[in-house]
Amino acid sequence: MGRKILLDKINVPGIKTYEVYRREGGYASVEKALKKMTPDEVVEEVKTSGLRGRGGAGFPAGMKWSFIDKKSGNPRHLVCNADESEPGTFKDRYLMEYIPHLLIEGMITSSYALGANLSYIYIRGEYMWVYKILERAIAEAKAAGWLGKNILGSGYDLELFVQIGGGAYICGEETALIESLEGNRGNPRLKPPFPAVKGLWQNPTVVNNVETISAVPWIINNSGADYAGIGIGRSTGTKLISASGNIKNQGVYEIELGLSVYEFMNSDEYCGGMQTDRPLKALVPGGSSVPILPANLIYKTAAGEDRLMTYESLSDGGFATGSMLGSGGFIVYDDRACIVRNTWNFSRFYHHESCGQCTPCREGTGWLEKVLWRIENGQGREEDIELLWSIQSKIEGNTICPLGDAASWPVAAAIRHFRDEFEYHIRFPEKVKNRDHFVHEPFEKVKHLIAKQEV
Partner 1 sequence: MKVTIDGQEIEVAPGTTILQAARMIGGESVPPAMCYYSKLKGTGGKCRCCLVDVTKGSEADPRPMPKLVASCVTGCQDGMEVASKKSDRVAEARKAVTEFLLINHPLDCPVCDQAGECDLQNLSFEHGKLQQRFIEEKRTFEPEDIGDKIQLHMNRCIVCQRCVEVADQLTDKRVHGVLNRGDHSQISTCVSAAIDNEFSGNMIDVCPVGALTDKTFRFKSRVWFNKPFNAHRECTTPGCCGKTTLWMFGNEIQRVTARKDEYHEVEDFICNTCRFDKKDVADWVIEGPRKFEKDSVINQNKHFGKTEKVVIETEKGILQGRDIDRKKISMAEIDYNEKIDGNPVNGKQNG
Q: Interface residues with partner 1 (CB under 8 A)?
A: 168, 170, 185, 190, 351-367, 370-371, 374, 387, 390, 394, 397-400
Q: Are 211 and 229 a contacting pair, CB within 8 Å?
A: no
Measured from the CB atom, is 5 or 361 closer to partner 1? Answer: 361
Q: How far is the CB of 359 from ligand SF4 (least distance, A)?
A: 8
Quick check: 355 binds ligand SF4 (CB under 6 A)?
Answer: yes
Q: Are 256 and 238 a contacting pair, CB within 8 Å?
A: yes
How many whole angstroms separate alpha carbon 294 and alpha carbon 283? 7
Quick check: 400 binds ligand SF4 (CB under 6 A)?
Answer: yes
Quick check: 180 binds ligand SF4 (CB under 6 A)?
Answer: no
Q: Which of residues 218-247 bind ligand SF4 (CB under 6 A)?
A: none
Exposed/middle/buried for 128, CB within 10 Å: 0-12, 13-18, 19+?
exposed
Residue 90 interacting entry, from partner 1, ligand SF4, ligand FMN, none, C-beta within 5 to 8 Å by type: none
Quick check: 357 binds ligand SF4 (CB under 6 A)?
Answer: yes
Quick check: 84 binds ligand FMN (CB under 6 A)?
Answer: yes
How many whole angstroms separate alpha carbon 229 and alpha carbon 222? 11
- Can you tell me which of 212, 354, 392, 408 binds ligand SF4, judged by CB under 6 A? 354
Measured from the CB atom, is 85 or 250 closer to ligand FMN? Answer: 85
Quick check: 86 binds ligand FMN (CB under 6 A)?
Answer: yes
Quick check: 205 binds ligand FMN (CB under 6 A)?
Answer: no
- Can you tell me which of 26, 39, 56, 328 binds ligand FMN, judged by CB under 6 A? 56
Quick check: 32 binds ligand SF4 (CB under 6 A)?
Answer: no
Cα–Cα nearest to 326, from 242, 392, 437: 242
Q: Which of residues 402-431 bind ligand SF4 (CB under 6 A)?
A: 403-404
Residue 84 interacting entry, from partner 1, ligand FMN, ligand SF4, none, C-beta within 5 to 8 Å by type: ligand FMN
Measured from the CB atom, is 316 or 369 closer to ligand SF4? Answer: 369
Q: Which of residues 300-359 bind ligand FMN (CB under 6 A)?
A: none
Quick check: 111 binds ligand FMN (CB under 6 A)?
Answer: no
- Can you tell me which of 45, 105, 140, 173 binds ligand FMN, judged by CB under 6 A? 173
Q: How far is the CB of 385 from ligand FMN (least distance, A)?
A: 26
User: If you count them, how many residues does the chain have?
Assistant: 455
Bond into 442 cis (ω within 30): no
Q: Mind spelling out the 3-state secondary structure of the chain?
A: CCCCCCCCCCCCCCCCCHHHHHHCCCCHHHHHHHHHCCHHHHHHHHHHHCCECCCCCCCEHHHHHHCCCCCCCCCEEEEEEECCCCCCCCCHHHHHHHCHHHHHHHHHHHHHHHCEEEEEEEECCCCHHHHHHHHHHHHHHHHCCCCECCHHHCCCCEEEEEEECCCCHHHHCHHHHHHHHCCCCCCCCCCCCCCCCCCHHHCCEEEEEHHHHHHHHHHHHHCHHHHHCCEECCEECEEEEEEEECECCCEEEEEECCCEHHHHHHCCCCCCCECCCCCEEEEECCCCCCCCEEHHHCCECCCCCECECCHHHHCCCHHHCCCCCCCCEEEEEECCCCHHHHHHHHHHHHHHHCCCCCHHHHHHHHHHHHHHHHHHCCCCCCCHHHHHHHHHHHHCCCCCCCHHHHHHHHHHHHHHHHHHHHHHHHHCHHHHCCCCHHHHCCHHHHCHHHHHHHC
Quick check: 109 binds ligand FMN (CB under 6 A)?
Answer: no
Q: How far is the CB of 264 from ligand FMN (least distance, A)?
A: 21
Measured from the CB atom, is 333 or 367 closer to partner 1? Answer: 367
Quick check: 164 binds ligand FMN (CB under 6 A)?
Answer: no
Quick check: 106 binds ligand FMN (CB under 6 A)?
Answer: no
Residue 83 interacting entry, from partner 1, ligand SF4, ligand FMN, none, C-beta within 5 to 8 Å by type: ligand FMN
Q: How far is the CB of 346 from ligand SF4 (least distance, A)?
A: 15
Nearest position to ligand SF4, beta carbon: 361
- Can you tell me which of 95, 102, 170, 391 binds ligand FMN, judged by CB under 6 A? 170
Stretches 101-109, 199-207, 327-335, 352-360: which one binds ligand SF4 (CB under 6 A)?
Answer: 352-360
Q: How far is the CB of 362 from ligand SF4 (least distance, A)?
A: 5
- The alpha-carbon radius of gyration of the chain (Å, integer) is 23
Q: How far is the CB of 346 from partner 1 (least distance, A)?
A: 14
Binding residues for ligand SF4, rule: CB under 6 A, are: 170, 188, 354-358, 361-362, 399-401, 403-404
Binding residues for ligand FMN, rule: CB under 6 A, are: 53-57, 59, 61, 64, 81, 83-86, 169-170, 172-174, 207-209, 212, 401-403, 406
